[in-house]
Amino acid sequence: MEATDDLASFEVVNLSNPGLLDLGTDIDGHVQESKDRTKLKTKLISAWNNLRYGGWSLKSKPRLSKSSPVCLLRQSYQLSYSGKQDRTVMSVSEGSLCRVFTVSMCFFLPGERESFRRAFSSLLWMTYRRGFPLLDGSALTSDAGWGCMLRSAQMLLAHGLMLHMMPAGWTWPATHHQTKDDLEVVDTHALEDSLRESRRDSGKHRRCSLGTALDCETHEERTHRRIVSWFGDLPSAPFGLHRLVELGRASGKRAGDWYGPAIAAHILQKAVAASEVSDLAVYVAENCTVYVGDVLNLCGTSRTDLSARCRSGWKSLVLLVPVRLGSDMLNPAYTRCVKRLLELQCCMGIIGGKPKHSLFFVGFQDDQLIYLDPHYCQAAVDVQQDNFPLESFHCKTVRKMPFNRMDPSCTVGFYAGSRADFQALCSDVTKALTSSEEKYPIFTFVEGHNEEEMSCTSDSFTHIKSKDRPGRIKKKSCLEEFVLL
């Protein structure tokens, strides 16, 4: 039997706070009981919504193989234990003698297994919410059952903003702790005495919650919290549900309607253009074609000096490409191509999922896609409060789905922070697309500008047969339908 492990099922403890490992410290029973009741209520409500709207199932948690590498947004991880290490935990003087105690501990250390867990848990997770202010023009105070595509689009944009505003390789400090099943204590008395000694040396430690006290208010953490607040469920949030629904009206959509991945891409483009993020631009490809000249104009630069490595005069780019990878189901020939795209340094992820069931794909392992699922209804969070809790915006549960269950209608996202990054993006993506088994790539980069006059609204347009892509069909369609190769 293949060795497997469920990374999401670990019970975590914070080793940076000795009090959590103090064998003599009692947990406040009343506080813990109250928290358990709240969690139980939330889980019951969420389970009902998930079953009602075809979201999460009651099957057991998926397991990730420890023998196969896993790709998570540009990075590859090998999920294997790092092994045991003997460590000295205390030294006690007894007269002229000095006694040293050593314990054997099995740590993840800076291994790839722990790096994967930290990276996954640091991704921003947007889900159904309930109890937020009324959506304009409706009586809805929850998006359960209809808002999954908008939530997936939020996750895609949120990841782009994290790449844009946070340092490379950043992970949420609340994920920087070991797991309970990784600690093997040989001499518990020595460990207990050691921890007491360390507390006397370092003073009292206050027990911390994941979303607040563990967040040292560094510049990075303030930026992290600021980005999350932009997606709050209130009318003033620039990328919140209320704002996205408002922008969707131009496409004939309203609260309670189903939004497809292409319409969601155009909504994100409008939202960023109207926001305070002035150094970021969103380009949405038309007819599966990225016009390089239009991108350069949008980002405020010219064709010359494309390889310059500074951002002067350049808006960073989020490139969104709506595509269709088959007719009614994913064409197996595109599986390898999707894998190649998810492995690229510039890839932000893919929004799509199953029919009428949107997901945010962030990686894969073997023939399984790894995703974040918005179909989990949580209470709305007041992001206007200082130090609002962040736990519900991060997911610890790794979920996966076979490639053959993926809906062929999806939008792929890419990020380029500089002109040089965009040049590398064009080269890397083109190589990934032309390496597939298909004769024609799923989309292309074309020099120059899009000079076709698109006689369409945000909902529909006419696909025109292009001379550089033979075999395309002239067809009038909505944004959720695409010309097939």
Give the integer Cα–Cα distance in Å for 237 and 50: 26
- Which ranges in 390-437 belong to alpha helices (H)? 419-434
Give the integer Cα–Cα distance in Å for 38 and 260: 34
Point out the catalytic residue in the list 148, 299, 377, 426: 148
Is 375 a residue of the active site?
A: yes
Is 395 a residue of the active site?
A: no
Point out the catalytic residue in the list 143, 215, 373, 428: 373
- Mean pLDDT, the chain, rounded, equals 76
DSSP code for 191 = H
Instruction: Give how far the C-alpha of residue 215 lies from the chain's centroid of Cα atoms, to the nearest Å.
Output: 19
Residue-wise pLDDT tens digits, 7-30? 443 333 333 344 434 434 444 566
Region of poorest pLDDT, from 14-23, 195-204, 385-394: 14-23
User: What predicted TM-score, i.e. pTM, was given to this entire model?
Assistant: 0.72
The set of residues, in sequence order, having a beta carbon less than 8 Å from that of 480 and lying 6+ positions away, is 260, 261, 262, 263, 409
Residue-wise pLDDT tens digits, 213-232? 444 468 899 999 999 999 99
Tell me the residue length of the chain.
Answer: 485
Is 98 a residue of the active site?
A: no
Residue-wise pLDDT tens digits, 433-474? 987 566 678 999 999 998 763 344 334 333 333 334 443 433
Point out the catalytic residue in the list 224, 266, 375, 394: 375
